[in-house]
Chain A
């Protein structure tokens, strides 16, 4: 055990705690993520779990995984979790939070889960002012079922079920569910972020911290939308997909707070 250990390649081993710039938070398990390379889900998982570690609420937080690419979130997030049926996460969260109001409860959902099949559960949980947080991954597509049109698919955007581009006259308009939720009195904090640049990742993480703080104060429903990529189904490299987020998605889904609680 010397300080200047030699590693497998024969060079000095520089893997020392004091050099660490990143460490897996204890709130993430060692299980390898199954997400595609460059996918926003991985980054969103990481910052959410960092926040839970930093706030020291690992033992008092219960998460709900959706049906979607993040269905296995409970394999990665090292906290107690429940896996919901497609769209029902906010109902599960309501059941948990109402019976254990002193615990922190969040749902983690995709756009199909939250804004199509689960619209009623989302809107009514928000409207009742349930003291829960929803992290909403808006990647404009159904990732898990390989690229069908989502409620948030942009006009003209090609998916497997809008092969000629989304025709709003036939297939309706992209649903800005966060804007809708922001109009409800039960919603305390509604904010839109992205994780496609380091600066944006930091802001999204800050928002998550805020949301748990608001939950502690019992202010009501919090929704953090994360405008995301899906390189695999966008049929792009991760970099191209991030460019698409920047140039196409964000203009339609502008970043920033839609509603923020008054803090004394």
Chain B
């Protein structure tokens, strides 16, 4: 077992990056995640020789990631909403060129410059393909400082398994709060020897090139079909979620990240009042855990989806239940966080009274 420490979410994420044998980090400061670059600047290079570079913009950062990842390196960048918007071109290119990398969005309130307070308004951007073209990111949603650590390790593995960018969609609160975490042992920085990586043409082998450009439509359609098959495989193999109290549940609360934590407390308050409430918490937002909602739908009286946005994941919940149960939504925006009491209140208004 690894060390147990009290750490801030963003710093735990940075520490996990070092421990995962990450080769390079390129990033640009933005609240509420600047601690990642600050932490790495102190600790990373002297411990593992990892490259840490502050780029001139998020546009540059994501393209430095493209270059290094295309050379087969294990690389990561982090940002928050406005910065992640700037990265969308690069993310689309990486999805198209099938380059593995790990990204994190410590989501703040939007649209526009918005607020530095936590929010979950970037669900659509992360899950539905924020850049151009038909592509998907594998999206992990940590709900604790521990999962900030665990999902860095998992995220790199999934990115390399699927040759696809993986997005860690956290929020400002998870990034800023301090909790107990257990770290994993230091992994070595190794040459992963990917056959596609541009590390210099092999002496007697073919040259490698990384590109997302295809001029012939017949061939490019085939590339697209292959990409879609890959996303399908992710849907079959990588769904992750957690449930609590679903065995006897008549109602389900659901949410991701911070939203799901508050739901858990609201569920507890509701149980004390005699309501049989369970909880479903997706850990992967793409692939979305459709099946668990579909299985529960005919057995329950309704679902309350709680998010820190105007209702984004709730669309996927509704698609999953195919009208077999009622789905209500409660959300706060602009950096506001719902209290467990107001969630329960909303639940009673919609389902009980």
Residues in chain A within 8 A of chain B (CB atoms): 29, 58-62, 64-65, 71-72, 74, 77-85, 88, 91-96, 98-100, 103, 120-121, 124
Contact = CB atoms under 8 A, between A and B. Distances in A.
Contact of B64 (A74, A91, A103): A91
B78 to A, nearest CB: 16
B85 interface: no
Contacts of A61: 200
B59 interface: yes
Interface of B: 23-24, 26, 51, 53, 55-57, 59-61, 63-71, 73, 75, 89-90, 93, 97, 198-203, 207-213
A92 B210 CA distance: 11
A95 B198 contact: no
A59 B60 CA distance: 27
B200 A62 contact: yes
Nearest to B52: A98
Contact of B73 (A62, A71, A79, A99): A99
Nearest to A128: B53
16 contacts: A60-B200, A80-B200, A80-B201, A80-B207, A81-B207, A81-B209, A82-B211, A83-B209, A88-B90, A91-B61, A94-B26, A95-B68, A96-B67, A99-B68, A120-B56, A121-B60
Contacts of B209: 74, 80-83
A69 to B, nearest CB: 13
Contacts of B26: 94-95
Nearest to B70: A82
Task: Count chain B CB atoms within 10 A of each CB in A64, A79, A80, A85 and give the residue with the most.
Answer: A80
Contacts of B67: 64, 82, 91-96
Contact of B56 (A72, A77, A83, A124): A124
A62 B207 contact: no
Nearest to B65: A95
A260 to B, nearest CB: 26
Nearest to A72: B213
